[in-house]
């Protein structure tokens, strides 16, 4: 079993909130990501069983959403918003600096499996640009030094 008992219980609790069980699929996927960081084939099969759908139905949903992955992920995701308001305030230059700092390109992960660096679309922090999302946290009003120290502090 890939999905732990604790997560299964959490999923069952989510299912209870919805008129149709499948409504809890996105919450379940969030729980699975919290536990494993991605949805493996086996995981998809187990979720399919819980929700009485097909494994490909699970993977189809995973493939549609930015926050879901079907391949193993590094411990942290660091995404710089590069949409228009943020770009107007230097977001892309900041991203380049972070690429240099980590020694990787956006879309790649550090070899030690620590950080995946990337860019995202508008995160709803337009007046506090440039900014980035690191996992569940926003880091706003960034300059290069601040951004670097946020990344350096990640385990």
Partner 1 sequence: MPRITVDGKIIEVPAGRTILQALDDTGLLMNGVDVPHYCWHPKLSIDGSCRLCQVEVEGMPKLQIACNIPVQDGMAVRTDTERVRQAREGVMELLLVNHPLDCPICDQAGECKLQDYAFEYGVDSSRSQEPRRALEKRKDLGPTILLDQERCILCRRCVRFCDEVPATGEIRVMGRGDRSVIDIQDGYPLENDYSMNVADICPAGALTTKDFRFKIRVWFLEDVPGVCTGCSNGCNLHLGVANNKVQRYVPRRNDSVNETWICDAGRMSYQRIGAGDRLSEAQVRSGGSQGTGRLETVGIVAALEQAAQKLRRVVDSRGADSVVALASPHAGNEDLFTLRRFCDALGVGASGVAVVRGDSDALLVKAEKAANAEGARRLGFGDPSDVLDRIRGGQAAAAVVLGHDLLDPSFLGATDVLAGLDTLIVLDTHQSSLDRVADVLIPVRHPAEKNATLTNSAGRVQRVQPAVEPAWEAWTDGEVIAKLGALLDLDGFDGSWEPREVSKALSQELPAFAGVHLGGVGDQGLSLQGAAEGSDPETGGASA
Partner 2 sequence: MLEVPYVTSYLTEHFADDSFQTLEGYERRGGYAGLRQALEQEPEAVAALVKEAGLQGRGGAGFLAGMKWGFMPKETDQPKYLVCNADESEPGSFKDRILMERGPHQMLEGILIAAWATGADKTFVYVRGEYAFAAERMERAIAEAYERGLLGEKVLGKSFRHDVVLMRGAGAYICGEETGLLESLEGKKGQPRKKPPFPAQYGAFGMPTTVNNVETFSHVPHIVNNGADWFRGFGTEKSPGTTLFGVSGQVQRPGLYELPLGTPLDEIVYEHAGGPLEGRQVKGVIPGGMSMPILPASMLDVPMANEFLRERKTMLGTGGIMVMDDTTCMVRASCVISYFFRDESCGQCTQCREGTGWTHKIIERIERGAGREQDLGILEDIAGKMEGQTICAFADAAAWPIQGMLRHFREDFVEHVRLGKCPFTQSFEL
Site string for partner 2, 53-72 (x = CB under 8 A): -------xx--xxxxx----
Which one among 16, 19, 64, 124 touches partner 1, defined by CB under 8 A? 64
Region of 30-38, 53-61, 90-98, 116-124 interacting with partner 1 (CB under 8 A): 53-61
Q: Which is nearer to partner 2, 66 or 112 (CB)?
A: 66
Region of 9-17, 57-65, 74-82, 87-95 interacting with partner 1 (CB under 8 A): 57-65
Q: How many CB atoms are located within 10 Å of the residue 131 CB?
A: 24
Q: Give min distance, CB of 9 to partner 2, in A.
A: 18
75: contact with partner 2 by CB under 8 A? no
Select from partner 1, partner 2, none the partner in contact with residue 93, using the beta carbon and a kind-dependent cut-off of 5 to 8 Å: partner 2
Q: Give min distance, CB of 13 to partner 2, in A.
A: 11
107: contact with partner 2 by CB under 8 A? no
Beta bridge partner(s), residue 115? 76
With contacts defined by CB under 8 A, how many residues of the chain interact with partner 1?
A: 9
The DSSP code sequence of the chain is --S-HHHHHHHHHHHTTSSSGGGGHHHHHHHHHHHHSS--HHHHHHHHHHHTS-HHHHHHHHHH-TT--SS---SEEEEEE-SHHHHHTTHHHHHHHHHHHHTS-TT-B-TTS-EEEEEES--S-GGG-S-EEETTEEE-S--HHHHHHHHHT--
């Amino acid at each position: 079993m890939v999905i732990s008992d604790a997560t299964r219980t959490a999923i069952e609790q989510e299912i209870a909130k919805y008129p149709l069980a499948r409504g809890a699929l996105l919450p379940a996927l969030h729980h699975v990501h919290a536990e494993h960081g991605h949805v493996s084939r086996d995981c998809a099969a187990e979720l399919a069983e819980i929700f009485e759908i097909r494994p490909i139905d699970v993977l189809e949903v995973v493939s549609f959403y930015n926050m879901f992955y079907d391949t193993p992920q590094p411990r942290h995701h660091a995404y710089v918003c590069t949409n228009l308001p943020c770009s107007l305030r230097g977001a892309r230059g900041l991203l380049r600096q972070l690429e240099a700092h980590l020694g990787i390109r956006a879309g790649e992960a550090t070899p030690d499996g620590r950080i995946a660096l990337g860019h995202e679309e508008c995160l709803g922090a337009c007046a506090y640009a440039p900014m980035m999302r690191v996992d569940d946290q926003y880091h706003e009003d960034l300059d290069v030094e601040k951004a670097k120290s946020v990344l350096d502090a990640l385990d």
